[in-house]
């Protein structure tokens, strides 16, 4: 299993979002200063809002970071179980044939 780290550390993301929330500069200017794209910064802001509203009972169509991690893990588990199920089906078919054929 390979792990690809996020290109920007969580602390960098958090501070970037804080700068936007201060409202002293436009998002575009902050993004340019930080050498990231404006859309990237806006995504971080939206994700931070989703994560914040989850604890406050707010409803958001965006998944929280925890939900994203859980969904990724569930998808991995599902794929593993599908593969195991296919192996078991093939093994059952093999042994069923073996018991039917005369020796």
18-70 confidence digits (pLDDT tens)? 999 999 999 999 999 999 999 999 999 999 998 888 666 656 678 888 999 99
Nearest to 36 by CA among 3, 76, 6: 6
Token pair recorded at residue 48: 């931070």
C-alpha dihedral sign at 74, 77, 83, 87: negative
Can you give the pLDDT at residue 22?
A: 93
The CATH topology of domain 7-62 is: Arc Repressor Mutant, subunit A (1.10.10)
CA 33 to centroid of chain Cα atoms? 27
Enumerate residues 6+ apart whose C-beta is below 8 A from 60.
49, 50, 53, 54
Q: Would you mind telling me the total number of residues written for the chain in this entry?
A: 103
> What residue ranges do the domains of the chain occupy?
7-62, 74-103
Task: Give the global pTM.
Answer: 0.58
């Amino acid at each position: 299993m390979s792990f690809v780290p996020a290109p920007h550390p969580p602390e960098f993301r958090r501070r970037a979002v804080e700068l936007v929330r201060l409202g002293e500069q436009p998002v575009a200017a902050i993004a340019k200063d930080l050498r990231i794209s404006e859309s990237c910064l806006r995504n971080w802001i939206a994700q931070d809002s989703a994560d914040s509203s989850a604890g406050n009972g707010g409803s958001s169509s965006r998944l929280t970071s925890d939900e994203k991690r859980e969904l990724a893990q569930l998808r991995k588990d599902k794929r593993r179980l599908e593969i195991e199920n296919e192996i078991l089906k093939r093994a059952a078919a093999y042994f069923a044939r073996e018991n039917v054929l005369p020796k």
